[in-house]
Structures are given as structure tokens and as C-alpha cells.
Amino acid sequence: MSQQNKPQQKEPGNNGQPERFNPKVLLIFLVIISAIIGLWFAQPDAGANHQRLTISELVEAVKDGAIVKEDKGVMKPEPSLGEDGYAITGMMKNPDYDANLSDETVPEKVHFSAQGRLLEKDFELVRSVLKESPRSTAFQDILISFLPFLLIIGLLYFLFVRQLKSAGKGAMSFGKSKAKMLKRDKDSLTFKDVAGCDEAKEEVSEVVDFLKDPKKFQRIGGRIPRGVLMVGPPGTGKTLLAKAVAGEAEVPFFSISGSDFVEMFVGVGAARVRDMFEQGRKNAPCIVFIDEIDAVGRQRGAGVGGGNDEREQTLNSLLVEMDGFDGHEGVIIIAATNRPDVLDSALLRPGRFDRQVTIDLPDLNGRHEILMVHAKKVALSEEVNLEHVARNTPGFSGADLANLLNEGALIAARYNKQVIEMNDLDEARDKISFGRERRRLMDDEDRKITAYHEAGHALIQAVVDDGHMPVHKVTIIPRGQSLGSTMFMPKKDLLNHSKRRLLNQICTGMGGRSAEEIVVGDITSGASGDIRMVTSIARHMVCDWGMTDLGPIAYGESQNHAYMGTMGAGSNNFSEETAQKIDKKIYEIVQKEYVRSLDILNEHRAALDTMAEMLLEHETIDGVHVLEILEHGEMRSPIIKREIAKEEPETDEEDEDKVAKKVDEDDDKDGLAGDEAPAPTPA
């Protein structure tokens, strides 16, 4: 790195961070000051063992031998009493002491003090047994008088002025940017540590290549992108990719959050933007990374405050710095957000953010690559099939997959294992997707209803599935808000949803309610989640995907929050008559598949009973067992149950497990079964 690009020197030991106020230092400082002042103004003890003498009594005591030289008394000049005034302290014989008495409460010697003017005839006598202190100068007297005030002023300076300056919050520091320069070291992340987003890496790697070798692009007329905006759902690796850019780039890298620009004082945000670009120009070429830019880059409008809003002033300053008259040659902005829909259009135009890089949830291959990267940091058994794990985790982000391996490691340690096995990762996946196991005891009736409910889901899915999403596991062990769950494993990621498969999903979703009605003769609230799921699919089929005879028309305008997985209140752009038709179509779709699920379960009633019995006996069965029961009427593959090793002492994780168990036992539950069949995402 060239000399001009080296970061400014920072104080050692604090990683360049501002020194923070330490309450312990304040306490120690106050104790020291109090002790000094107390000792300075302390008066001799005026208790029973202290004698206050006049000058005449002092002279008589010296003459009588009550005060001797060995007592090391001190006579100190006292200017307030005149030129011959003295303050005298020391030890003297106790007049009340009797050597013939054995009263230990009466000391042989006591303290004495005396103040007054010594006559010339008595001065030599007193000085013969007492030590005379040198007379202080006028300067010393003034210094001693003002010493307490100087200590108080020093304390105030230490507490307020110095701490405010070191914390960067002084009156002259509000406009200073909070951007931190990252140092490149051997532990820095690189592009090798980022997986599952190859296209995004190519986009940002061109920026790094341009900084390393600008002539490669300039000789054919290319110019470096002035800004790169990374958008995507939470946990997909936007900030991680920015850290990898910092590790790859051989130029200064500044990092700041969008919320750091927002302050309670007017004009501070704009000043910090200007200061950030000023630092960037001094260290050009450099990269500035703004995380969560939506905190400062929201769309402007004529709302409360009009154009005088502090946030808008900050945004205006950012727009000018990114592409104004002065320009910002050599300063490249990389920003990240999961709310691109709220950003101002002026911020997104070419010349400011020339590129928008979308980092979406990883596909099957991407999940496998991410697992391979994170698997290097944990001890995996040879039997672990990461491709199988990737297939079993659709919809997981990179952060979710990292958490999956970490949870697997914690579970393996809880069972006193040396490596992570496949069943540990399966349990970790269930914990992340459905919640922690709840060891609440259920009565026989609830267990029976739950077993038939889950068996109904699994049986119908095994019958209607065309091979793209077989049953993975069925369990009646309570997790989260459900007493049981049925899990599927898609063969591949689905980008489109056909009408036939959507109807099969609705049929599978109604399998639990149908099984309850057939076996128990009654229905329960356990199907509440299933009903919401199938209703959502049917509504999408009618209103969004045009899969009914109402035609390929979009009914209603929903407000989807980009990459946040939430949906706001939409507006109905159709008449009341059309709304009735929509409701009727939704009812017809769900009711038809409900009747279909009843027919399938009645046709395979024996398999339904056998599957429910196996669930009541083993609590959990795999997809292969479901197929065996459907084809042969019985399970032929063994069920392997894990057992906790009893030889090892109880670990801290087991203590935490007991605490979590107690919390889970105190939780309440509304329904029976959980969300067994995931609803498709609108294309």
C-alpha cells in the first residue's frame, strides 16, 4: 500500500475507538481527593485522651518534665497569631496516670495542643524539647489556601472536558463522521469465505479489480462504478460480502451505519456526510461502506416538516457529495439494504449507484457451498451428507445455515459426542424451523388426535406426490406452538408452482382435519394453521395467479415489503360483486380438496391406523416408514433412537437444557398441529 493510503495512526490498545468514560476511575479519583482534603483539614482528636493547654500551662509542663524531647513534639509558626505565634502539638505525661494502679483505660501519655504567642524568655525553653517547623513563605501560604480549589477544578476537567473530548462528543465534534477505517490483516475475510452468491461476487470484484489495476478498464474507455447498492433479504450475506471486499481491496476501507448520520441536533447528519467524504478524498482511492442505508436514504416527500426535515437534509448532502459539482473521484460507495422500495429515486440513478446487486436466498447449490464453507470450522462425522442437508433446508439464508451447524454442534456436545452426526443436524433443523422440543406431557386422547392428524398429512402427501416433495419425517413430539409436525424434503428448489401441485398442497393441508373427522367423529382447533395455509394458497390462485375461470386478472393490490417477508394492507380495486365471486371460488377450491382428502383417507384407512399406531409407539417415523406402511401395511425398517451417554458428567449445556425445559413447560398452546405444508411464495 502506498504511503498516502496508509490509515492515520491510532492510539494503541483501543483499536482506534474513542476512549469511553470509566465509572471506576471516577470513584477512585473521588476517594483520593476526599482523603487529601480530609487529612489536610483534619483537627487533632479532641477526645478524653487529648489535652488543650494554654501557653502558660505548656511552659509549666516543660518545666515540670511532663514534656520531654523524646516525645517529638512540633511547634509550628502560626501567622494569624502574630510574629511570635505558634501552634504546638505533641505528647505529654498524663496527669491522671498512676503507675501503682493497673487501670489499662488510663494511658501513660496523651496528646496535647496549644496555640498562642511565646515570650522571648519562654521560647528557648520550649524549643529545647520541641522541634520548630520552618516558617512558610507567602507563596506557600497562598498555594496551600488554593490547593483544594485547584483539586476540584482538576476533577471537573477530568470528568467533563477530557472525557467529552476523548469520546468525540465535544461541542466541536458533532459534525465529525463516525466512519471507521478497517485494517487488513491475515484474519480478514476474502471472497473465498463468501459462497452462494457468485453473481454478486463478480459484480463487486470488478470494483476491486479496477482499484488494483485501473488501466485495464481505462484503456478501452471504461470508468469505475461510483456506487454499488446491495439489496436482499436479511441474512443473505450483504455485510459479509462488504467485509470480503475490505479483505480483498488494497485500498483504505471505511465502514459506517446509516443510523450514524441521524442525530438529535439539526445539521449534524449533513455535516457528518461531508466529513465522511472529506476523509475519503484524503485517502483516495478508497471504499466507503454504508450499512442499512435506508435509515438515511428514505424517499423524500411533502410530509410533516416539508423539505426541512433533518433526514432530508442529510440525504440532500449525500446526493450532492455522490454526484454534485465537486464530485468524489476515487471514493466508491458500497451500500446495503433490505428495503430498496423505500429509497429515494435520486439516490438510485446512475452516477450515484451505478449498480444494484441483488443477493437473494441461496438455491440448492448455493446452500451446499455455504455449508461447505462453514463446515470447515466444525468437526463433522464422515457420514454427514451436506448435499442432503442442503436439500432439507429450502428457504434458509446463509446466516440460517451457519446457525444450523452451530446448533448441531451444541446438540452433539449435549450428547457427549466428539463429532457432529447427521441426526444432530436434523434435530437442529427441526429446532430452527419448528422450535424447541416441548416435553410437556399429553394425555392419551390428545396424543391419539395428534397422531391421526399428522398421519393424515403424511399419508395424503405420499399418495398425491409426484416425486418432487416426498415425506421426510413425521413426529408427534411438540415443538414451538404445535404438538406435531410433518416435514417434506423437496428434490429441488421450485421456481414455478403448477396448478396441480398447488391443489395437491391444499389436499395435503386438509389431511389432518379429514383424519380427525374420520377417526374421532369430531373436529378440533388443531387445524387452524392448516386452514390459514390452504386459504392463502387458494386466494393466491384466484387473485394473483389467474388459475380459475375468473380469468387471468389480478384482483387487489397488496403492499409487499421487499425482502422483508411481510405484507401490508392492500387495497381492493374491484366491486363488491367481484369480491363475492372471489370468496366463492376460494371456498370451492378448498372444499373440493377437502372432500378429496376424505376419499383418500377412507380408501387407505388401514394404512392410516397403522401409521397412527406407529407414531403413538415411536413418536417419530421417517419418510421411508410412511412408504412402507402405504405399500406393505407395516414398517420394515428399524427406528434408531438416540440415547444420552450416562458416563460423562453433566455439562453446562445440560443445565441450560433443564432451564429451557422449565420455560417450555410453562408455555401455553392454542392449536394442535403446526404448519406442516409450506405455502408457496408468489412468483
Catalytic residues: 454
Residues 6+ apart with CB under 8 A from 578: 555
In this structure, what C-alpha cell is assigned to residue 106?
488510663
The β-bridge partners of 52 are: 113
Q: Alpha-carbon distance 268 to 300, whole Å?
A: 18
Residue whose C-alpha cell is 409407539: 617
Closest among 511, 503, 505 to 608, alpha carbons compared = 511
Phi, psi of 334 (to 5 degrees): -115, 125
Query: Cis before residue 350, ω within 30 degrees of 0?
Result: no
In this structure, what C-alpha cell is assigned to residue 465?
406426490
C-alpha distances out from residue 522 to 186, 507, 519, Å: 66, 19, 8
The H-or-E segment that residue 257 falls in is strand 253-257
* DSSP three-state, residue 88: strand
* DSSP three-state, residue 474: strand
C-alpha distances out from residue 569 to 348, 536, 554, 583, Å: 26, 15, 16, 18
Q: Using an 8 Å Cβ cutoff, are 299 and 343 in contact?
A: yes
Degrees, nearest 5: CA angle 222-223-229 = 120
Closest among 199, 180, 195, 291 to 242, alpha carbons compared = 291
Q: Using an 8 Å Cβ cutoff, are 474 and 626 in contact?
A: yes
